[in-house]
Amino acid sequence: MNTSHSLWLHTAAMLHAQLLQSRQAVGTAPLPAAAWSNVVKLSRQVELAQHRGWHLAAQRQAAELLAELESLQSSMAKVSDQLRERLAPRIIASPAELYRDLAALNAEFEMLECDLESQTVSVTTGPIVLEGIALGRFQIRLDLKQFPEAQEFAVVALEPNPASSDSNITHPHVNDEALCAGDGLRAIRSALATGRLYDFFTIVHQTLQTYAQGRAYVELENWHGVPCHDCNSTVDEEERYRCHRCEEVLCGDCASYCSHCDETCCSGCSVSCPRCDRLVCVICLQPCRECRREVCSDCLNQNLCTQCQNHEPEPDEVCPEDQEESPAVAAETAVQPHRLGQAAVLA
Protein backbone atom coordinates (compact mmCIF):
# COMPACT_ATOMS: atom_id res chain seq x y z
CA MET A 1 0.00 0.00 0.00
CA ASN A 2 1.44 3.36 -0.98
CA THR A 3 1.83 6.32 1.37
CA SER A 4 -1.31 8.11 0.18
CA HIS A 5 -3.59 5.11 0.82
CA SER A 6 -2.08 4.58 4.27
CA LEU A 7 -2.67 8.26 5.07
CA TRP A 8 -6.27 7.98 3.90
CA LEU A 9 -6.81 4.98 6.19
CA HIS A 10 -5.45 6.88 9.20
CA THR A 11 -7.57 9.92 8.35
CA ALA A 12 -10.71 7.81 7.92
CA ALA A 13 -10.15 6.08 11.26
CA MET A 14 -9.66 9.42 13.05
CA LEU A 15 -12.80 10.93 11.48
CA HIS A 16 -14.90 7.88 12.35
CA ALA A 17 -13.79 8.04 15.99
CA GLN A 18 -14.75 11.71 16.17
CA LEU A 19 -18.15 11.01 14.58
CA LEU A 20 -18.84 8.26 17.12
CA GLN A 21 -17.92 10.53 20.02
CA SER A 22 -20.15 13.30 18.67
CA ARG A 23 -23.13 10.95 18.28
CA GLN A 24 -22.79 9.51 21.79
CA ALA A 25 -22.31 12.85 23.55
CA VAL A 26 -25.78 14.38 23.57
CA GLY A 27 -24.77 17.28 25.78
CA THR A 28 -26.88 20.26 26.73
CA ALA A 29 -27.28 23.23 24.43
CA PRO A 30 -26.42 26.55 26.15
CA LEU A 31 -29.48 28.45 27.33
CA PRO A 32 -29.82 32.24 26.85
CA ALA A 33 -29.70 32.95 30.59
CA ALA A 34 -28.46 36.53 30.22
CA ALA A 35 -31.32 37.37 27.84
CA TRP A 36 -33.85 35.89 30.28
CA SER A 37 -32.41 37.95 33.17
CA ASN A 38 -32.76 41.08 31.07
CA VAL A 39 -36.40 40.24 30.31
CA VAL A 40 -37.16 39.84 34.03
CA LYS A 41 -35.42 43.14 34.82
CA LEU A 42 -37.31 45.05 32.12
CA SER A 43 -40.62 43.52 33.22
CA ARG A 44 -40.08 44.82 36.76
CA GLN A 45 -39.18 48.27 35.44
CA VAL A 46 -42.40 48.41 33.41
CA GLU A 47 -44.48 47.47 36.47
CA LEU A 48 -42.70 50.06 38.62
CA ALA A 49 -43.19 52.84 36.05
CA GLN A 50 -46.89 52.03 35.73
CA HIS A 51 -47.33 51.96 39.52
CA ARG A 52 -45.75 55.43 39.84
CA GLY A 53 -47.74 56.88 36.97
CA TRP A 54 -44.74 57.37 34.67
CA HIS A 55 -46.71 56.53 31.56
CA LEU A 56 -44.15 57.64 28.96
CA ALA A 57 -41.35 55.75 30.70
CA ALA A 58 -43.57 52.68 31.02
CA GLN A 59 -44.38 52.79 27.30
CA ARG A 60 -40.71 53.13 26.34
CA GLN A 61 -39.63 50.28 28.60
CA ALA A 62 -42.50 48.11 27.35
CA ALA A 63 -41.18 48.57 23.80
CA GLU A 64 -37.70 47.49 24.98
CA LEU A 65 -39.25 44.49 26.74
CA LEU A 66 -41.05 43.45 23.55
CA ALA A 67 -37.82 43.61 21.53
CA GLU A 68 -35.98 41.59 24.18
CA LEU A 69 -38.75 38.98 24.28
CA GLU A 70 -38.61 38.55 20.49
CA SER A 71 -34.82 38.14 20.69
CA LEU A 72 -35.22 35.60 23.50
CA GLN A 73 -37.81 33.69 21.46
CA SER A 74 -35.40 33.50 18.54
CA SER A 75 -32.58 32.30 20.80
CA MET A 76 -34.80 29.64 22.37
CA ALA A 77 -35.87 28.39 18.93
CA LYS A 78 -32.21 28.07 17.95
CA VAL A 79 -31.45 26.11 21.12
CA SER A 80 -34.42 23.83 20.46
CA ASP A 81 -33.24 23.14 16.90
CA GLN A 82 -29.73 22.31 18.10
CA LEU A 83 -31.00 19.96 20.78
CA ARG A 84 -33.43 18.30 18.35
CA GLU A 85 -30.56 17.65 15.92
CA ARG A 86 -28.44 16.13 18.69
CA LEU A 87 -31.23 13.83 19.85
CA ALA A 88 -32.22 12.70 16.35
CA PRO A 89 -30.72 9.33 15.35
CA ARG A 90 -27.87 9.72 12.89
CA ILE A 91 -26.33 7.17 10.60
CA ILE A 92 -22.66 8.08 10.39
CA ALA A 93 -20.20 7.03 7.74
CA SER A 94 -18.14 3.93 8.42
CA PRO A 95 -14.31 3.94 8.16
CA ALA A 96 -14.62 2.14 4.82
CA GLU A 97 -17.06 4.77 3.49
CA LEU A 98 -14.79 7.59 4.69
CA TYR A 99 -11.85 5.93 2.94
CA ARG A 100 -13.81 5.59 -0.30
CA ASP A 101 -14.82 9.25 -0.06
CA LEU A 102 -11.17 10.27 0.23
CA ALA A 103 -10.26 8.11 -2.78
CA ALA A 104 -13.14 9.63 -4.80
CA LEU A 105 -12.03 13.15 -3.84
CA ASN A 106 -8.50 12.35 -4.98
CA ALA A 107 -9.88 11.39 -8.40
CA GLU A 108 -12.32 14.31 -8.58
CA PHE A 109 -10.05 17.23 -7.69
CA GLU A 110 -6.63 18.41 -8.79
CA MET A 111 -5.18 17.64 -5.37
CA LEU A 112 -6.20 16.02 -2.08
CA GLU A 113 -4.20 16.69 1.07
CA CYS A 114 -4.64 14.92 4.42
CA ASP A 115 -2.49 16.53 7.10
CA LEU A 116 -2.69 14.59 10.37
CA GLU A 117 -0.37 17.03 12.14
CA SER A 118 -2.52 20.10 11.49
CA GLN A 119 -5.66 17.90 11.38
CA THR A 120 -6.98 19.22 8.07
CA VAL A 121 -8.34 17.70 4.87
CA SER A 122 -8.07 19.90 1.79
CA VAL A 123 -8.91 19.69 -1.90
CA THR A 124 -7.77 22.01 -4.68
CA THR A 125 -10.25 23.00 -7.36
CA GLY A 126 -9.54 23.72 -10.99
CA PRO A 127 -9.58 27.31 -12.29
CA ILE A 128 -12.95 28.96 -11.69
CA VAL A 129 -14.29 31.46 -14.23
CA LEU A 130 -17.58 33.30 -13.67
CA GLU A 131 -19.07 35.44 -16.46
CA GLY A 132 -15.67 35.90 -18.07
CA ILE A 133 -13.82 36.82 -14.87
CA ALA A 134 -11.02 34.41 -13.96
CA LEU A 135 -10.95 33.89 -10.20
CA GLY A 136 -8.25 31.20 -10.18
CA ARG A 137 -8.03 27.96 -8.21
CA PHE A 138 -9.28 27.58 -4.65
CA GLN A 139 -8.34 25.30 -1.79
CA ILE A 140 -11.28 24.03 0.28
CA ARG A 141 -9.79 23.31 3.70
CA LEU A 142 -11.74 21.40 6.38
CA ASP A 143 -10.56 21.74 9.99
CA LEU A 144 -10.86 18.42 11.80
CA LYS A 145 -9.91 19.58 15.31
CA GLN A 146 -13.54 19.77 16.46
CA PHE A 147 -15.13 17.80 13.64
CA PRO A 148 -18.06 17.51 13.16
CA GLU A 149 -19.36 19.87 15.86
CA ALA A 150 -17.55 23.08 14.83
CA GLN A 151 -18.00 22.48 11.09
CA GLU A 152 -15.24 24.94 10.32
CA PHE A 153 -13.85 25.19 6.80
CA ALA A 154 -12.02 27.82 4.78
CA VAL A 155 -12.02 28.67 1.08
CA VAL A 156 -8.55 29.95 0.20
CA ALA A 157 -7.78 31.62 -3.14
CA LEU A 158 -4.52 30.19 -4.49
CA GLU A 159 -4.29 32.65 -7.42
CA PRO A 160 -6.34 35.52 -6.02
CA ASN A 161 -8.05 37.96 -8.33
CA PRO A 162 -9.99 39.89 -5.67
CA ALA A 163 -12.58 42.59 -6.15
CA SER A 164 -11.01 46.00 -6.67
CA SER A 165 -13.05 47.46 -3.83
CA ASP A 166 -12.00 44.85 -1.22
CA SER A 167 -8.98 42.56 -1.36
CA ASN A 168 -10.61 40.14 1.14
CA ILE A 169 -13.36 39.28 -1.36
CA THR A 170 -11.80 36.66 -3.65
CA HIS A 171 -15.11 35.32 -4.99
CA PRO A 172 -18.57 36.90 -5.15
CA HIS A 173 -19.56 34.61 -2.25
CA VAL A 174 -16.24 34.41 -0.33
CA ASN A 175 -15.17 37.09 2.13
CA ASP A 176 -12.03 36.65 4.25
CA GLU A 177 -11.89 32.93 3.30
CA ALA A 178 -15.47 32.36 4.58
CA LEU A 179 -18.07 31.04 2.13
CA CYS A 180 -21.61 32.40 2.13
CA ALA A 181 -23.27 29.13 1.09
CA GLY A 182 -26.81 30.51 0.93
CA ASP A 183 -29.33 27.74 0.25
CA GLY A 184 -26.56 25.13 0.33
CA LEU A 185 -25.70 25.72 3.98
CA ARG A 186 -28.18 23.14 5.31
CA ALA A 187 -26.83 20.47 2.93
CA ILE A 188 -23.24 21.29 3.96
CA ARG A 189 -24.09 20.94 7.66
CA SER A 190 -25.92 17.66 7.07
CA ALA A 191 -23.00 16.20 5.09
CA LEU A 192 -20.48 17.12 7.79
CA ALA A 193 -22.67 15.88 10.64
CA THR A 194 -22.84 12.39 9.11
CA GLY A 195 -19.28 12.31 7.77
CA ARG A 196 -20.13 12.39 4.06
CA LEU A 197 -16.85 14.01 3.00
CA TYR A 198 -17.38 13.63 -0.74
CA ASP A 199 -20.77 15.35 -0.55
CA PHE A 200 -19.36 18.19 1.55
CA PHE A 201 -16.48 19.05 -0.77
CA THR A 202 -18.53 18.73 -3.97
CA ILE A 203 -21.33 20.95 -2.56
CA VAL A 204 -18.81 23.66 -1.67
CA HIS A 205 -17.16 23.28 -5.09
CA GLN A 206 -20.52 23.61 -6.87
CA THR A 207 -21.27 26.73 -4.83
CA LEU A 208 -17.99 28.24 -5.97
CA GLN A 209 -18.96 27.55 -9.59
CA THR A 210 -22.22 29.48 -9.27
CA TYR A 211 -23.06 33.16 -8.99
CA ALA A 212 -26.21 34.43 -7.31
CA GLN A 213 -26.75 38.02 -8.37
CA GLY A 214 -28.11 40.15 -5.57
CA ARG A 215 -26.55 37.90 -2.90
CA ALA A 216 -22.90 38.60 -3.65
CA TYR A 217 -20.45 40.54 -1.52
CA VAL A 218 -19.47 42.33 -4.75
CA GLU A 219 -21.41 41.91 -7.99
CA LEU A 220 -19.38 40.61 -10.92
CA GLU A 221 -20.29 43.66 -13.01
CA ASN A 222 -18.44 45.76 -10.41
CA TRP A 223 -15.56 43.32 -9.88
CA HIS A 224 -12.89 45.48 -11.53
CA GLY A 225 -14.56 48.77 -10.63
CA VAL A 226 -15.10 50.82 -7.52
CA PRO A 227 -17.86 53.33 -6.71
CA CYS A 228 -17.19 57.03 -7.28
CA HIS A 229 -17.10 58.89 -3.96
CA ASP A 230 -19.28 61.74 -5.25
CA CYS A 231 -21.88 60.09 -7.52
CA ASN A 232 -21.52 56.38 -6.57
CA SER A 233 -21.26 55.25 -10.19
CA THR A 234 -18.87 52.38 -10.99
CA VAL A 235 -15.43 53.45 -12.17
CA ASP A 236 -13.06 51.10 -14.01
CA GLU A 237 -9.42 51.00 -12.96
CA GLU A 238 -8.13 52.83 -16.04
CA GLU A 239 -10.74 55.60 -15.75
CA ARG A 240 -10.55 56.43 -12.04
CA TYR A 241 -9.10 59.52 -10.38
CA ARG A 242 -8.17 60.06 -6.74
CA CYS A 243 -8.60 63.11 -4.55
CA HIS A 244 -5.09 64.14 -3.49
CA ARG A 245 -6.34 65.08 -0.01
CA CYS A 246 -8.68 62.24 1.12
CA GLU A 247 -7.64 59.73 -1.65
CA GLU A 248 -11.24 58.83 -2.44
CA VAL A 249 -11.92 57.41 -5.92
CA LEU A 250 -13.63 59.72 -8.43
CA CYS A 251 -15.01 59.33 -11.92
CA GLY A 252 -14.02 61.70 -14.71
CA ASP A 253 -17.23 63.72 -14.39
CA CYS A 254 -16.79 64.34 -10.67
CA ALA A 255 -13.04 64.96 -10.57
CA SER A 256 -12.24 68.67 -10.07
CA TYR A 257 -8.92 70.49 -10.21
CA CYS A 258 -7.57 73.12 -7.87
CA SER A 259 -6.82 76.30 -9.84
CA HIS A 260 -3.83 76.98 -7.60
CA CYS A 261 -1.98 73.65 -7.16
CA ASP A 262 -3.65 71.86 -10.12
CA GLU A 263 -4.28 68.73 -7.99
CA THR A 264 -7.40 66.55 -8.29
CA CYS A 265 -9.98 67.03 -5.55
CA CYS A 266 -13.45 65.77 -4.68
CA SER A 267 -16.48 67.90 -3.85
CA GLY A 268 -15.81 67.66 -0.13
CA CYS A 269 -12.22 68.85 -0.43
CA SER A 270 -12.79 71.80 -2.80
CA VAL A 271 -14.45 75.21 -2.44
CA SER A 272 -14.80 78.44 -4.40
CA CYS A 273 -12.54 81.27 -3.27
CA PRO A 274 -14.83 83.99 -1.83
CA ARG A 275 -12.77 86.73 -3.56
CA CYS A 276 -12.06 85.41 -7.06
CA ASP A 277 -14.64 82.56 -7.25
CA ARG A 278 -12.07 80.14 -8.63
CA LEU A 279 -12.28 76.49 -7.50
CA VAL A 280 -9.47 75.60 -5.08
CA CYS A 281 -8.76 72.76 -2.69
CA VAL A 282 -9.08 73.46 1.00
CA ILE A 283 -5.30 73.09 1.45
CA CYS A 284 -4.68 76.14 -0.72
CA LEU A 285 -6.88 78.43 1.40
CA GLN A 286 -5.32 80.85 3.90
CA PRO A 287 -6.99 83.30 6.30
CA CYS A 288 -6.78 87.07 5.75
CA ARG A 289 -5.25 88.66 8.85
CA GLU A 290 -7.80 91.48 8.73
CA CYS A 291 -11.20 89.95 7.96
CA ARG A 292 -10.14 86.33 8.73
CA ARG A 293 -11.85 85.01 5.65
CA GLU A 294 -10.09 82.05 4.01
CA VAL A 295 -9.12 82.87 0.43
CA CYS A 296 -6.76 81.37 -2.11
CA SER A 297 -3.10 82.38 -1.95
CA ASP A 298 -3.42 84.33 -5.22
CA CYS A 299 -5.86 86.68 -3.47
CA LEU A 300 -3.48 87.38 -0.58
CA ASN A 301 -0.75 90.00 -0.36
CA GLN A 302 1.11 90.36 2.91
CA ASN A 303 -1.60 88.20 4.48
CA LEU A 304 -4.30 90.64 3.36
CA CYS A 305 -7.01 89.73 0.89
CA THR A 306 -7.73 92.03 -2.06
CA GLN A 307 -10.80 93.48 -0.32
CA CYS A 308 -8.85 94.50 2.76
CA GLN A 309 -5.90 95.79 0.71
CA ASN A 310 -8.20 98.30 -0.99
CA HIS A 311 -9.84 99.24 2.32
CA GLU A 312 -13.18 98.30 0.91
CA PRO A 313 -15.38 97.02 3.74
CA GLU A 314 -18.11 94.57 3.02
CA PRO A 315 -21.46 96.24 2.16
CA ASP A 316 -23.08 94.96 5.34
CA GLU A 317 -20.19 96.30 7.44
CA VAL A 318 -20.63 100.01 6.41
CA CYS A 319 -22.06 102.13 9.24
CA PRO A 320 -24.39 105.12 8.51
CA GLU A 321 -22.07 107.56 10.28
CA ASP A 322 -19.18 106.41 8.07
CA GLN A 323 -21.00 107.44 4.88
CA GLU A 324 -19.97 110.72 3.14
CA GLU A 325 -22.06 113.82 3.83
CA SER A 326 -24.26 115.11 1.07
CA PRO A 327 -22.91 118.07 -1.05
CA ALA A 328 -25.56 120.46 0.34
CA VAL A 329 -24.66 119.74 3.97
CA ALA A 330 -20.95 120.06 3.19
CA ALA A 331 -21.45 123.44 1.49
CA GLU A 332 -23.54 124.78 4.35
CA THR A 333 -20.92 123.69 6.86
CA ALA A 334 -18.17 125.47 4.89
CA VAL A 335 -20.10 128.81 4.50
CA GLN A 336 -21.55 129.05 7.98
CA PRO A 337 -18.44 130.51 9.76
CA HIS A 338 -17.88 133.15 7.04
CA ARG A 339 -21.49 134.43 7.26
CA LEU A 340 -21.24 134.69 11.01
CA GLY A 341 -18.14 136.82 10.62
CA GLN A 342 -19.87 139.18 8.14
CA ALA A 343 -22.79 139.67 10.54
CA ALA A 344 -20.45 140.64 13.32
CA VAL A 345 -18.73 143.35 11.22
CA LEU A 346 -22.03 144.89 10.06
CA ALA A 347 -23.24 145.06 13.60
Beta bridge partners of 121: 114, 142
Q: What percent of the chain lies above the pLDDT cut of 70?
A: 83
Q: What is the pLDDT of residue 89?
A: 62
Band the pLDDT of 288: cuts 50, 70, 90.
confident
Average pLDDT over residues 310-316: 58
**In what helix (H) or strand (E) does residue 47 lie, and over which residues does it extend?**
helix 33-51
Instruction: List, for residues 148-204, the tens digit of each pLDDT value.
Output: 766 689 999 999 999 988 899 999 999 999 999 988 888 998 898 889 999 999 999
Whether the per-residue pLDDT at 337 is higher than 60: the answer is: no
Return the top range by mean pLDDT from 52-61, 130-139, 150-159.
130-139
Q: What is the pLDDT of residue 240?
A: 73
Of 320, 286, 278, nearest to 303 (Cα)? 286
pTM strictly above 0.85: no
Q: Give the CB-side neighbour count of residue 2, counting CA atoms within 13 A.
A: 2
Beta bridge partners of 300: 305
Average pLDDT over the chain, rounded to an integer: 82
Q: What is the pLDDT of residue 27?
A: 54
Integer-rounded Cα Rg, in Å, for the chain is 38
CATH number of 95-220: 3.10.110
Q: Are 140 and 158 in contact (CB under 8 A)?
A: no
Average pLDDT over residues 80-87: 71
| Cα angle for residues 158, 7, 93 (degrees, 5° grid) | 95
Band the pLDDT of 85: cuts 50, 70, 90.
low
Band the pLDDT of 112: cuts 50, 70, 90.
very high
Q: For the chain, what are the domain ranges?
A: 31-89, 95-220, 234-315
Cα 264 from chain centre: 25
Q: What is the pLDDT of residue 149?
A: 67
Q: What is the pLDDT of residue 341?
A: 45
Return the top range by mean pLDDT from 138-142, 256-260, 271-275, 313-317.
138-142
Q: What is the pLDDT of residue 87?
A: 67
Beta bridge partners of 242: 249
